[in-house]
Amino acid sequence: MSKNIKIIMTILLLFSLVFTTGFTNINNEPQTVYRVYLKGKSLGIIKSKKSFEEYIDKQQEEIKKKYNVNKVYAPTDLDIVKETTFSNELKTNKQIYDEIKDVSPFTIDGYVVKIRGLDTKNDKGTVIKGKAQNIYVLKKAIFTNSIEKTAKSFISEEDYNNYANGTQNEIKDTGKLIEAIYIKNKITIKKAKIPVDKEIYESEDMLSKYLLFGTTEDQAKYIIQDGDTISDVAFNNKISVEEFLIANPDLQDENSLLSPGQEVTLGILRPQFSLVEEDHVVKREQKQYTTETRYDNDQLVGYEKVLQPGVAGENKVTQKVQKINGETVNAVTTATEIIKEPITEIVVKGGKKSYYSEYYGGGYGTVIATRGQWGWPASCSSISSPFGWRWGVLHDGTDINGCGYGSNIFAAQSGTVVASSSKYDNGQYIIIDHHNGYYSMYAHLCNGCRYVKEGDYVEKGQVIGGMGQTGFATGVHLHFAIWQGYPYRGGVALNAMQFY
């Protein structure tokens, strides 16, 4: 048999096989089909895109029931592209479905909320880039209502509603007007196909919980013991009173009574956005008196007598106050009206040194460390952030603001300056040793506003610096702290307000 005849016979045989099996990979005419890609990889071609999408929807009755939706869609990383081909190698809907069902999540109609993160600094002063996050909700109203509910955790419902409805009362003598409420983070919300393997919030309560605590898991619980107070329970569990009250909305304020056996929630707040409240505030506050020290050389060192008691004055102060998530971060005094001038405290101390003090290098006398014997360290008395825990971190001092940039800072008690320096977190700061185991610290002073140096002996009420905004400070204020032992070197931070 010749070579040509063999070729012809082979072709006829192949044609006969194709004809008898009814299968061919080639069409005489081009046809329109759809190629399916998953994560950019081709899975094959199908006859109908619509038919395949309907097949997916029919197979996912469980998802429709779980989220109470009418339709389930293909994964977001699945592409179905129309193409024209002569090939007849089509795959069934089931074949393609089986290849994707355990690889990529199917999707449903919903909304994607993107919250842009805010930059922060760590304890070394390094900027940490804020992380954006996506939140998935079935309905837009779930998010908007949760935002409002979360906001009312930081702003009283009455104040919030009066601001929103334009029904705030005018300030006649003293009071507060909310001028603005807004979220500092940029937030966008858009309709989208959302993957069912993500956390999808179906209720306002669950989303509000996440926005406040950064988790939907149950918070720790505590059983009230006999004698417990809200402030004690909060501090002992490293949360602030404000956090405690937010986690236990049935309790009205810090003075609410607790009953032994009562269960309370201990939730550390980790808000997922920064809610800003800007207020116009008019209030009366004490104007602290200063202390004048006189020396009597006929009296030995250690002698001390109050010749004239100090009496605080009173000012009417107008401020612009900014709060973030309920915490005051800045307060600027725009006007001050003097109601009553303070009366200066006059203290007489002995100036005559004894043989003992000469020989042993003494001469500072006994510094009082009891309540009511310490001088106020600033010329104003507004406290923007008290001593205590907040968001799992101990705020080891009391922030005093409203006096103005460069305003006088006074030594709270007599002693020796052991530090007059600057640091990335405290900014310009001063530490005074009071020679009785107690130290006082004055931080965030203005640049060029440290008026004493290490080794100087200062009297109670002496001007030692000026209020500023150096270091980690969001506004002009004094961070005032009293420590038992040297600060940050084995010492223990105390609540300075227990000395007043």
pLDDT digits (tens, 9 = 90+) for 10-39: 444 444 434 333 344 555 678 899 999 999
Question: What pLDDT score was predicted for residue 118?
Answer: 87
Interval 158-168: pLDDT, tens: 999 999 999 99
CA distance 317 to 272: 34
Q: Which residue has the tokens 């090939």?
A: 87
pLDDT of residue 473 exceeding 70, the answer is yes
Interval 428-461: pLDDT, tens: 999 999 999 999 999 999 999 999 999 999 999 9
Question: What pLDDT score was predicted for residue 119?
Answer: 83
Name the residue with higher pLDDT: 120 or 379.
379
Q: Which CATH superfamily is domain 275-499 in?
A: Glucose Permease (Domain IIA) (2.70.70.10)
CA distance 78 to 57: 15
Question: What pLDDT score was predicted for residue 24?
Answer: 45
The residue-averaged pLDDT of 406-429 equals 95
Average pLDDT score, the chain: 88
Nearest to 459, CA basis, from 295, 280, 335 = 295
Percent of the chain with pLDDT over 90: 70
Q: Output the DSSP codes for 407-436.
A: -EEE-SS-EEEEEEEEETTTEEEEEEE-SS
pLDDT of residue 184 exceeding 80, the answer is yes
The residue-averaged pLDDT of 364-388 equals 76
**Residues contacting 62, CB < 8 A, separation 6+:** none
pLDDT of residue 169 exceeding 70, the answer is yes
pLDDT of residue 90 exceeding 80, the answer is yes
Bridge pairing between strands 408-410 and 438-450? unpaired
Q: Token pair of 287, please?
A: 């104007």
pLDDT of residue 360 exceeding 60, the answer is no
pLDDT of residue 1 exceeding 60, the answer is no
Nearest to 386, CA basis, from 472, 465, 326, 433 = 326
> Is the whole-model pTM more than 0.85?
no
Question: What pLDDT score was predicted for residue 330?
Answer: 86
Q: Which residue has the tokens 């100036």?
A: 351
Name the residue with higher pLDDT: 24 or 156.
156
pLDDT of residue 189 exceeding 60, the answer is yes
In the chain, list all ranges with CATH 2.70.70.10: 275-499
Q: Among positive and negative, which fits the CA dihedral 374, 375, 378, 379?
A: positive
pLDDT of residue 114 exceeding 60, the answer is yes
Question: What pLDDT score was predicted for residue 302?
Answer: 79
Confidence class of residue 196 from pLDDT cuts 50, 70 and 90? very high
Task: Evaluate whether 26 touches 90 at the Cβ level (below 8 Å).
Answer: no
Question: What pLDDT score was predicted for residue 332?
Answer: 86
Question: What pLDDT score was predicted for residue 235?
Answer: 93
First to last CA, the chain: 120
Which residue type does 373 have?
Answer: Q
Question: What pLDDT score was predicted for residue 284?
Answer: 93
Q: Token pair of 54, please?
A: 């309907």
DSSP state of 486: S
Provide the greatest CA pair distance for the chain: 143
Q: Token pair of 463, please?
A: 């001007």
Question: What pLDDT score was predicted for residue 273?
Answer: 95
pLDDT of residue 371 exceeding 80, the answer is no
Question: What pLDDT score was predicted for residue 373?
Answer: 80
pLDDT of residue 366 exceeding 60, the answer is no
